[in-house]
Amino acid sequence: MFLERKGDKVNRRGWIEVVCGSMFSGKTEELIRRMKRAEFAKQKVEIFKPVIDTRYDDEAVVSHNDNTIRSTPVPSSSNILLLATDVDVVGIDEAQFFDDQLPHVCRQLANGGIRVIIAGLDMDYKGEPFGPIPALMAQAEFVTKVHAICLHCGNLASHSYRKAEGDNLVLLGETDEYEPLCRTCFNWATTKK
């Protein structure tokens, strides 16, 4: 944490970090790594995820590599403000599934001296900006874009190609429903559908 001395009072400075990319790129793994480092540094941490994310566990945040950390599922971003009391670091996984108030919530937390670490998909299955992630990236002090490997050509993948049928924006899934593709292979695959 950065500290600023004003007279006899020391104020913590908060900030926002965003880890984004396609599916299977290691976003959650990186979030867990940063949160565990904060815990190791004896900082008070709290991790949140949307209640709809029940793929691996109803409560814990779990990466594709089965790395796990305790979390609190919440129905909306406003609940994060209510529950993030007396903490140094707040982690938020699957941020793309939260409502449009998430950037405001994260800004309030950071303005209150809390380090906020957010992980989420930057694009939906159509290759369009996803939920509150673009606004979060714009206001973040640090943005880390991680990449998967394209399963067709081996280049860096930035797109989450949906193999499953349907046009619902939210479809929780794994390798049966999605695969990471580079821009060229994604464009080719979407024209073949």
Distance CA(17)–CA(117), nearest Å, equals: 5
Residue 9 is predicted with a pLDDT of: 44
In the CATH scheme, what is the homologous superfamily, with its name and number, of domain 2-147? Answer: P-loop containing nucleotide triphosphate hydrolases (3.40.50.300)
Q: What element of type H or E holds 106?
A: helix 102-111
Catalytic residues: 94
Distance CA(142)–CA(117), nearest Å, equals: 9
Distances (CA, A) of 45 to 1, 73, 91, 146: 13, 15, 8, 23
Q: Where are the domains of the chain?
A: 2-147
Distance CA(51)–CA(98), nearest Å, equals: 10
pTM more than 0.75: yes
Residue 60 is predicted with a pLDDT of: 58
Length of the chain: 193
Look at the alpha carbons of 139, 64, 154, 159 in this order and tell me if their dihedral is positive or negative: negative
pLDDT by residue for the chain (193 residues), tens digit each? 445 544 444 457 899 999 999 999 999 999 999 999 999 999 999 999 998 875 666 565 655 666 677 889 999 999 999 999 999 999 999 999 999 999 999 999 999 999 999 999 999 999 999 999 999 999 999 999 999 999 999 999 999 998 867 666 555 555 578 899 999 999 999 987 6
